Structure 1
Amino acid sequence: MRPSGTLPLLFTALLGVLAACSPAPAPAPATPAATPAAPRPTPSAPVAQVTIGGEDAAETVERWQPPAVTLVDGEAAQARRDAARAFEEDRLYRSAEDAIPIWLALLERDPKDRVAQAGLKRARQRLLEEASALLDRPLKQREALAQASEMALVLLTLAPDDAKVRELQSRVEIAQRVVAYNRAGEEDLRADRIGEDGDGAIPNFREALALDADNPRARQGLAAAESALIRRAETAARATDFATAGTWLAEAAKVRDSSITIADAFERIENIRSDTLARLRNEGLRDLATPQGLKPARQKLEDALRIALPGDPVVGQLRERIELVTHYGSFRPRQVFSDALRDGGRGPQMIVVPHGGFQMGAAENELGATDAEKPSHYVRFERGFAMSITEVTVADFRRYVQATKARPRATRRGHSIVYDERSGNFVRRSGVDWQSDYNGAEAIANLPVMHVSVRDAENYATWLSEQTGRSYRLPSEAEFEYALRAGSSGRYPWGDAGTPPARAGNFTGAEDVSPSGRHWYNAFVGYGDGYWGPAPVGSFDPNPWGLHDIAGNLSEWVADCWHASYRRAPADGVAWFNPGCRQRVIRGGNWANAPAQTRAAWRQSQDSDTTSARIGFRLVRGI
């Protein structure tokens, strides 16, 4: 709307200044939206079009046209009374019977009519007050603005140079622009053009506030825009797109100073994240309880890692469980268990050996090492395995023999190698088999079974597998040395010290004494374990991984065939086996081995039919 005179040009300049000073839209400035056209009032009184021209421009604006009043000679007094009554009834300008048109007609007839002059002055004052009150009215702004605009047109006709009138007209035009910006912003909101890119609701509401800093409608509009961005953030979060949710929430934080609202929204989004992660964890754990659940559980972990913050404990739980299942199935490292047998008994106690890798064999310059223990090479186990905590006992082996009516090698052959106390040597003696001790006497139940061949040990593993439904076998040579070292890398299973720690195991100690008073010629100086011959299983401290007697007591059969070196040895720890081979491997020191044969890398070839008081075995089981 344009009044008269030079005001339109001044207003256009003012608009440019305000637009230039308005706040920049979030997040980054873009090409500004076209300024919305101010709404035009629809005055009840007649309106004329007037062209205001200048040297460089011409502009058409609306003007108020007073209704025509016809005065008859001699009726001026009555006209004055009619105008006064209309003024009292607040009928000011809409028709020819209203106060201002009558007073204007009187002044046109007599420019010095003081009553008319005073009346118009009071009318202008009342219009100024009423229009100002309308502009300040918080409700029904559209109707109020239309009325105020109409009054301003009337006032501009009556007093175009009055400073108060011009101030009112300026307020009207600003209010019209504020309404236009607010209306445009609300239309943008309904169309979901929020304006975070610089074109939409937010810039419109900011333009309105640049004109009227306390405008409640514009402030409510910005609050609605902020809420719309927050809804976008929450929608993205529910779709597990938390990166986008964070972007929308950051845009919402730029709209206005509403830290509490943003903090509440952030908390809601984080709750959505937490609930989503808990759901993925629980679904992943349920997957892991099924036979083929590892792959879908890993997918759940991948989804969780994509949306989780660093160090999230819920994701850590799922990752840890997947790691455990990957490397240990349904077990945990160091877990102790025994399988039930079909005959009602229990199998040997087993312990889960941690997965990992180690350097197998002897170092190039290791004292006492042989070429058969080289080259040193790295072996890694991607999956853990279970190993019997002790060597298989006489009682364990008896259950197998009785159940299968088996006749192990020494029983069929009728003899085995025992220690002869009288000569101090190992000799072949008749009548000795798996039921015998190191000297041929009857063995007690909890001694490690000895006088068994490698095939006797494998047959026992086959029977145990049938009894339990699990896969038992002899350990590979790599598995044995890995478990023997238990994370160490020294010359001996306990490290590089030349004397074993107290209670480390049953070795040839210089302090050991035979029943007839013999001492070992080649032994660990200063060490004594109290046994001449094998000790009952579990008599000494376990190694760091919970295994008893793996470094001593008896040397043990492993699954590998003998190879004269580790060249081309498997790197994954499986047994190096050639079908039909007769030369097999024993590992680990025993009660009658020299110190050099108690080293961690020591290995020896034995015929597969060998039975001896120095050789036993233990088993491993897949998990």
Structure 2
Amino acid sequence: MPLFAGTVLAAACALSACDGKRGAPDTGPDGAARNPLVTISGEGAVVVPAWQPPQVFIAEGDEPKVIAEAETALRELRLFGGPRDAIPLLLELHARMPDDPRVAALRERANAALIAEGDAALARMDSDPEGLVRAHQVGEVGRTAAHEDPAMRAYLTRIDRADQSMQLDHRGERELQSGRLGDAPGERGALQYFREAMERRPGDARAAQGIAAVESALIRRAEEAASKNDFASAERWLQSAASVRPGMETVEDARQRIAMQRRARVRELLDQGMAASLRENGLPQARRTLSDMLRIAAPGDPAAAELRARIDQVAHYGLFRAGQVFTDALRAGTRGPPMVVVPHGGFRMGARDGEEGASPSERPLHYVRFDRGFAMSRTETTVGEFRRFVQATGYRSRAVRRGHSIVYAERTGNLVRRSGVDWRHDFEGKPARDDMPVLHVSARDAEAYAQWLSQQTGERYGLPSEAQFEYAERAGSEGSLAWASRVPPSFAGNLTGGHDRSPTGRRWRNAFEGYGDGFWGPSPAGRFPSNAFGLHDLSGNVSEWVADCWHEGYRRAPADGQPWVNPGCRQRVIRGGSWASAPAQVRSAWRLSTDGDTTNARLGFRLVREL
């Protein structure tokens, strides 16, 4: 049983018995009367009447004149609208003069023009609701006027296929509205109907829109699943959508949107987990949040690893994890110095037995343990960081108040006192760059800077203890030097090397033979590689203040790594080698006593912060 209006029409009227004469009955090949009406399916019924040739009167002997009239009408593309149009005239002429070659030629031209008009109507049916109706009107004329023409029969087939595609479009739209998309294997739904419509009529814009609508519906399902944190289902819907219109960017765009939504949700859970880990007794909640995160995070998502590490480390490091680099916010709106979280643990502090260059003040060797990690400045405090402190507070350092400091003089190769030198100057007394370690600062200047940072951040900053400094400098090493060999490895740090030369060609008299680092004087902070803890320049560049008062040895020294301080002490401890230190002063156990007001071109500082 035919399903489509055009098919019904073709079955009833493909071969017409009408001979084109006036008043001739509209019959089928068996002589039965043909139904005069054709219904086109659509949004409401559209009725196209069967075409009846209008009555045409031609007087005897006027045939040549009528032929000319038909040719004029054909040239003006007046094909069938009235009795004096080309096709009605040619039907009457053909009935009277069936063998006339002029009439046959004009009929052939008229048929071609009629088919061209019908094809134009079919071409605009996607944008013009009347296009298919007009195409059927043309087909009705063609069934009567040129049913024997193969080109006309092909055109009528195109109408049938257009009817079928429209019917399939309607079925697809109903399925789409009902939510039956046809995306599952073996399921017949909207997608199959739209694709069949495209097969019937390639370029069917309505079917193409329907296919795109199926894709959009699948994407909406993916987005709905993502909104419920069901990202596995969201990906399955996206994969289904990707098979609808392969090669289009729509699905990939949706995938990117959902990936952003997923990342945002994971970051939200990360924030919740981090906040829970900070609360007292909050670890169970943090672990539950991690479980939720693992259910929705993509494999290998670093946020999950970050929260897991935070939970694992919170007992030892509070907010942080070993090796983490962070900065604290200042009340002024800027950030504090980069800090590195030093891992908790223990080490043997002091000079080893038989250590060359060691002094009695570096003994006895004793064990120190840090039950909780601490944070240490990644590099020495820089000129720029100290400048920010001075500008914010108006602080006047010791060298500023005293009016001089100790600098290096290239002319003599000695350290000499020079007026007008303070923290703003380099080792030669010239203006210092902001990325250089700050020099010409006393222990009290360093402590004033630490106190300001504490006020700005609400955290506890201070100078490191001797134990913290040596533990950080060793970073797990046990030898006298921070590295395994007697000669520093390439780019170990800014040390005195046998290959170093000053601008005028001076050399060091006591230096590491075979080593050179390219600097005569301090290097910019952090220029050389970090040690195993992520800290720079602890063994070289500039020596540094620590918090301890000077003691002649370690008897009764704290075993927990806290500073060993006597109230009101003047003699302080310096740690770490400098750009002008002899090899013995680069040892990890080396320590030196000096007045806390000392300022010079070899001495700076860095800070630690409680976690």
| TM-score computed with the length of structure 1 as normaliser | 0.50
**Alpha-carbon distance between aligned partners in 2 of 1:577 and 1:292, rounded to the nearest angstrom:** 32
**Alpha-carbon distance between aligned partners in 1 of 2:282 and 2:554, rounded to the nearest angstrom:** 35
- Cα deviation code 1:148-172 (max 9, x no counterpart): xxxxxxxxxxxxxxxxxxxxxxxxx
| Residue in structure 1 matched with residue 587 of structure 2 by the alignment | 599
**Alpha-carbon distance between aligned partners in 2 of 1:563 and 1:533, rounded to the nearest angstrom:** 30
**Alpha-carbon distance between aligned partners in 2 of 1:620 and 1:379, rounded to the nearest angstrom:** 17
Change in 2 beyond 3 A, CA 1:295/1:612: same
Contact 1:357–1:379 (Cα < 8 Å) also in 2? yes
| Residue in structure 2 matched with residue 575 of structure 1 by the alignment | 563
Please tell me the residue identity of whatever aligns with 2:313.
L
| Residue in structure 2 matched with residue 556 of structure 1 by the alignment | 544
Give runs of ≥4 in structure 1 deviating > 6 Å: 284-287, 294-300, 316-320
Work out which of the residue numbers 428, 439, 458 in structure 2 matches 1:450: 439
Contact 1:288–1:322 (Cα < 8 Å) also in 2? no
Work out which of the residue numbers 378, 385, 406 in structure 2 matches 1:389: 378
Change in 2 beyond 3 A, CA 1:344/1:370: same
Three-state SS of the structure 2 residue aligned to 1:429 is strand
Change in 2 beyond 3 A, CA 1:608/1:292: same
Change in 2 beyond 3 A, CA 1:289/1:607: same
1:70-219 to structure 2, matched below 5 A, reads none
Three-state SS of the structure 2 residue aligned to 1:500 is coil
**Alpha-carbon distance between aligned partners in 2 of 1:389 and 1:319, rounded to the nearest angstrom:** 25
Three-state SS of the structure 2 residue aligned to 1:419 is strand
**Alpha-carbon distance between aligned partners in 2 of 1:616 and 1:492, rounded to the nearest angstrom:** 21
Change in 2 beyond 3 A, CA 1:327/1:370: same
Please tell me the residue identity of whatever aligns with 2:407.
V
Contact 1:287–1:293 (Cα < 8 Å) also in 2? no
| Residue in structure 2 matched with residue 413 of structure 1 by the alignment | 402
Contact 2:450–2:462 (Cα < 8 Å) also in 1? yes
Deviation at 1:291, TM superposition (A): 3.1
1:300-379 to structure 2, matched below 5 A, reads 323-379=312-368
Contact 1:558–1:585 (Cα < 8 Å) also in 2? yes
Change in 2 beyond 3 A, CA 1:332/1:318: closer
Three-state SS of the structure 2 residue aligned to 1:379 is strand
Deviation at 1:285, TM superposition (A): 6.5
Please tell me the residue identity of whatever aligns with 2:507.
H
Identity of aligned residues (%): 63
**Alpha-carbon distance between aligned partners in 1 of 2:329 and 2:317, rounded to the nearest angstrom:** 20
Deviation at 1:423, TM superposition (A): 1.1
Contact 1:358–1:380 (Cα < 8 Å) also in 2? yes
Three-state SS of the structure 1 residue aligned to 2:340 is strand
User: Tell me, which stretches of 5 or more residues in structure 2 are unaligned?
Assistant: 1-269, 289-304
Deviation at 1:413, TM superposition (A): 0.2
Work out which of the residue numbers 593, 596, 602 in structure 2 matches 1:614: 602
| Residue in structure 1 matched with residue 514 of structure 2 by the alignment | 526
- Cα deviation code 1:410-439 (max 9, x no counterpart): 000001111111111111111110001001
**Alpha-carbon distance between aligned partners in 2 of 1:444 and 1:350, rounded to the nearest angstrom:** 21
Contact 1:288–1:325 (Cα < 8 Å) also in 2? no
| Residue in structure 2 matched with residue 566 of structure 1 by the alignment | 554
**Alpha-carbon distance between aligned partners in 2 of 1:338 and 1:618, rounded to the nearest angstrom:** 14
Deviation at 1:584, TM superposition (A): 0.4
Contact 1:584–1:606 (Cα < 8 Å) also in 2? yes
**Alpha-carbon distance between aligned partners in 2 of 1:353 and 1:554, rounded to the nearest angstrom:** 21
Three-state SS of the structure 2 residue aligned to 1:346 is coil
- Cα deviation code 1:524-571 (max 9, x no counterpart): 001001010000011111111111111100000000000000001100
Contact 1:435–1:443 (Cα < 8 Å) also in 2? yes
**Alpha-carbon distance between aligned partners in 1 of 2:439 and 2:450, rounded to the nearest angstrom:** 15
Contact 2:277–2:283 (Cα < 8 Å) also in 1? no
Contact 1:504–1:541 (Cα < 8 Å) also in 2? yes
Is 1:400 the counterpart of 2:385? The answer is no
1:218-233 to structure 2, matched below 5 A, reads none
Please tell me the residue identity of whatever aligns with 2:502.
S
**Alpha-carbon distance between aligned partners in 2 of 1:393 and 1:530, rounded to the nearest angstrom:** 20
| TM-score computed with the length of structure 2 as normaliser | 0.51
Work out which of the residue numbers 272, 276, 279 in structure 2 matches 1:291: 279
Whichever of the two has the greater Rg, that structure is 1
**Alpha-carbon distance between aligned partners in 2 of 1:319 and 1:446, rounded to the nearest angstrom:** 36
Is 1:501 the counterpart of 2:484? The answer is no
**Alpha-carbon distance between aligned partners in 2 of 1:521 and 1:299, rounded to the nearest angstrom:** 60
Q: How many residues align?
A: 325
**Alpha-carbon distance between aligned partners in 2 of 1:472 and 1:318, rounded to the nearest angstrom:** 26
Contact 2:273–2:287 (Cα < 8 Å) also in 1? no
Deviation at 1:287, TM superposition (A): 9.2
| Residue in structure 2 matched with residue 430 of structure 1 by the alignment | 419
Please tell me the residue identity of whatever aligns with 2:449.
Y
Please tell me the residue identity of whatever aligns with 1:397.
F
Contact 1:372–1:565 (Cα < 8 Å) also in 2? yes
Deviation at 1:473, TM superposition (A): 0.7
**Alpha-carbon distance between aligned partners in 2 of 1:563 and 1:322, rounded to the nearest angstrom:** 40
Contact 2:493–2:540 (Cα < 8 Å) also in 1? yes
Is 1:587 the counterpart of 2:575? The answer is yes
**Alpha-carbon distance between aligned partners in 2 of 1:609 and 1:526, rounded to the nearest angstrom:** 36
Deviation at 1:364, TM superposition (A): 2.3
Three-state SS of the structure 2 residue aligned to 1:289 is helix
Change in 2 beyond 3 A, CA 1:318/1:526: closer
Work out which of the residue numbers 515, 532, 548 in structure 2 matches 1:544: 532
Contact 1:287–1:296 (Cα < 8 Å) also in 2? no
| Residue in structure 2 matched with residue 513 of structure 1 by the alignment | 501
Deviation at 1:469, TM superposition (A): 1.5
Deviation at 1:290, TM superposition (A): 4.2
- Cα deviation code 1:200-259 (max 9, x no counterpart): xxxxxxxxxxxxxxxxxxxxxxxxxxxxxxxxxxxxxxxxxxxxxxxxxxxxxxxxxxxx
Three-state SS of the structure 2 residue aligned to 1:529 is coil
Three-state SS of the structure 1 residue aligned to 2:406 is strand
- Cα deviation code 1:304-351 (max 9, x no counterpart): xxxxxxxxxxxx999975551111101111111111111122111111
Change in 2 beyond 3 A, CA 1:370/1:344: same
